[in-house]
Amino acid sequence: MANDPRVHIPVLMDEVIALLDPKPGEVYADATAGLGGHAREVAKRIGPAGVVVLGDLDMSNLSSATQSVAERNKSRILTHHGSFADLPRFIENEGLKVDLLLADLGFASNQVDDPSRGLTFREDGPLDMRLDTSGQLTAADLVNELGEQELADVIYRYGEERASRRIARAIVERRKQQKFDSTSDLADIVRRSAGPPPKGRKRIDRATRTFQALRIAVNGEIESLDALLEQIRIGCMKAASGKDSWLSQGARVGVISFHSLEDRPVKRMFQQIEQAGDGRRLTRKPAVAGEAEERSNPRARSAKLRVLQVLDETRPDAR
C-alpha cells in the first residue's frame, strides 16, 4: 500500500515527532489537518489529558481527520473549518495555549487525485482548484476574466514561470473564441505556448507552474501563510515577554513547505524571531526526507520541515 499513489502517507513523520517532541497533556494544533495522519501520531503521545485542535479549509477532509483521530485516541478534539490564518484567533477564543503547532502546506492525496477538484491535469476535470468548495472564486474565473497583464503577473509571481507573458497572451487569444472550463484544455494551451523548458531546469510538465500559480491565487495560499507567520511572530514575542499569548513558553512550531515560495518566508520569519530573542530555531537547515521515505512516498521528495521553539522563559529584559 505504501507505493499506491492513491494512499495518503504523511510526509516527514519521524522528523515531525522528533522535533516537535509531543508530551502527555500538551495542546497540539494542526493548522492543515488533511486526513489526520500527523495528528493521529501526535495524539498518541499527548494522550487523554492532551488537546488536539484540527484546522482545514476542506470540510470533508476535516471531518475525516476528526473521525480518524477520535477512533484511535482519547484526546479532546476541537475543529476549525477555515483558513489557518484564522486559527490563532480560534485558539485564543477557546482559552487555550498551544504547545505544538504544525502547518503542513501540502495537499492530501485525495485532493490531488480527484479530477473533480481541478488540482491536476493528469485526468480531465473542471477548472476549479478550490480547497474550500464553499468559496466563490475558481481557476476558471481567473483564466477567463483576468486581463492579460494581470494573468501574466499571477503566473509569474506564484508559478515562477518565465514564459508567463507568452502563456497569458495565448490564453487571452484562445478565450476570445471559447472560454476555458476544463483542466486538459488549459494544460494543452499552456504547453503549446510555453515552449521548451529553460536550460538547467528540471523537465517537469510545462503546465505544472501555471497550474500551481492558479491554485495559489484561488486559495490565497501565500497571503494566508504570511498572516499565520505574523501571528506566530506576535505570539512568540508575547510569550517571551511574559504576556498572554496563544503560544505557550517553550512551544514548538513546525512548518512543512513544498516549494520556495513557501519556504523562503518561513525561513525569514524564523530567523527574525530568533534574532529578536523570542525563540530559537531547532532546524538551521530544513529537515528533509531520507532515501527510504523518498522511495516509499515520492510526494516527500520536495518536503522541507523547519521548526522553531518559543523562548521557554520570560526574557530578562521583560521581567
Tens of pLDDT, residues 161-220: 999 999 999 999 999 999 999 999 999 999 999 988 777 656 789 999 999 999 999 999
57 and 94 fall within a common domain: yes
Average pLDDT over residues 43-56: 97
pLDDT over 90 at 107, yes or no: no
Domain region containing 142: 111-219
Query: Residues 212, 233: one domain?
Result: no
Show the cell assigned to 219. 486559495
pLDDT digits (tens, 9 = 90+) for 254-268: 999 999 999 999 999
In terms of domains, do 104 and 226 share one?
A: yes
In this prediction, residue 4 has a pLDDT band, given cuts at 50, 70 and 90, of very low
Pairwise CA distance, residues 51 & 24, whole Å: 10
Q: In what order do the strands lie in the sheet with 76-81?
A: 76-81, 51-56, 27-30, 98-104, 247-257, 304-310, 279-281
- Give yes or no for residue 130 having a pLDDT over 60: yes
Place of cell 509531543: 22
Domain match, 190 and 264 both: no
52: which strand partners?
28, 77
Does 172 map to a domain? yes
pLDDT at 3 over 70: no
Give residue 304's pLDDT: 98
d(CA 34, CA 191): 31
Domain boundary among 157, 188, 219: 219
Task: Quote the cell numbers at residue 52.
Answer: 488536539
Specify whether 212 is located in the same domain as 255: no
Q: Which residue has the higher pLDDT, 277 or 6?
A: 277
Same domain, 135 and 202: yes
User: Tell me, what DSSP letter sits at residue 207?
Assistant: T
| For residue 157, pLDDT beyond 90 | yes
The predicted structure's pLDDT at residue 1: 33
Residue with cell 512543512: 256
Q: What is the pLDDT of residues 78-89, one digit of tens each?
A: 999 999 999 999
Residue 110 or residue 85, greater confidence: 85
**Number of domains within the chain:** 2
* Grid cell listed for 297: 512516498
Q: What are 314's three cell numbers?
A: 520570560
Contacts of 237 (CB under 8 A, 6+ apart): 273, 276, 278
pLDDT at 7 over 80: no
Given 166, 184, 219, which residue is the final one in a domain? 219
Assess if residue 58 is contained within a domain.
yes
In terms of domains, do 154 and 280 share one? no
Strand (E) or helix (H) holding 41 = helix 37-46
| Residue where a domain terminates, one of 177, 192, 219 | 219
Model pLDDT, residue 201:
59
In a domain, 187, yes or no: yes
**128 plus 138 within the same structural domain:** yes
Q: In the chain, what percentage of residues exceed pLDDT 70?
A: 96
The whole-number pLDDT of residue 198 equals 72
The percent of residues above 90 in pLDDT, for the chain, comes to 86
Whether residues 214 and 227 fall in one domain = no
Average pLDDT of the chain, as a whole number: 93
Residues 92 and 119 in one domain: no
If asked whether residues 200 and 146 sit together in one domain, one would say yes
Where residue 132 sits, what CATH number does that domain have?
A: 1.10.150.170
Instruction: Tell me, yes or no, whether 246 and 308 share the same domain.
Output: yes
* Maximum alpha-carbon separation in the chain: 68
Q: Residue 252 belongs to a domain with what CATH number? A: 3.40.50.150
Q: What is the pTM of this model?
A: 0.92
CA-CA distance, 288 to 99, in Å (whole number)?
23
Q: Is residue 5 part of a domain?
A: no
Residue 309 has a pLDDT of 98
2 domain-assigned: no
CB neighbours of residue 190 within 10 Å: 26
Q: Please give the grid coordinates belonging to residue 164.
A: 508567463
- Tell me, letter by letter, the H, E, C secondary structure of 115-148: HHHCCCCCCCCECCCCCCCCCCCCHHHHHHHCCH
Q: What pLDDT, on a 0 to 100 scale, did the predictor assign at position 5?
A: 38
Is 6's pLDDT higher than 50? no
pLDDT-based confidence at residue 293 (cuts at 50, 70, 90)? very high
8 within some domain = no
Domain presence at residue 130: yes
pLDDT at 72: 86
Average of pLDDT values for 291-295?
94
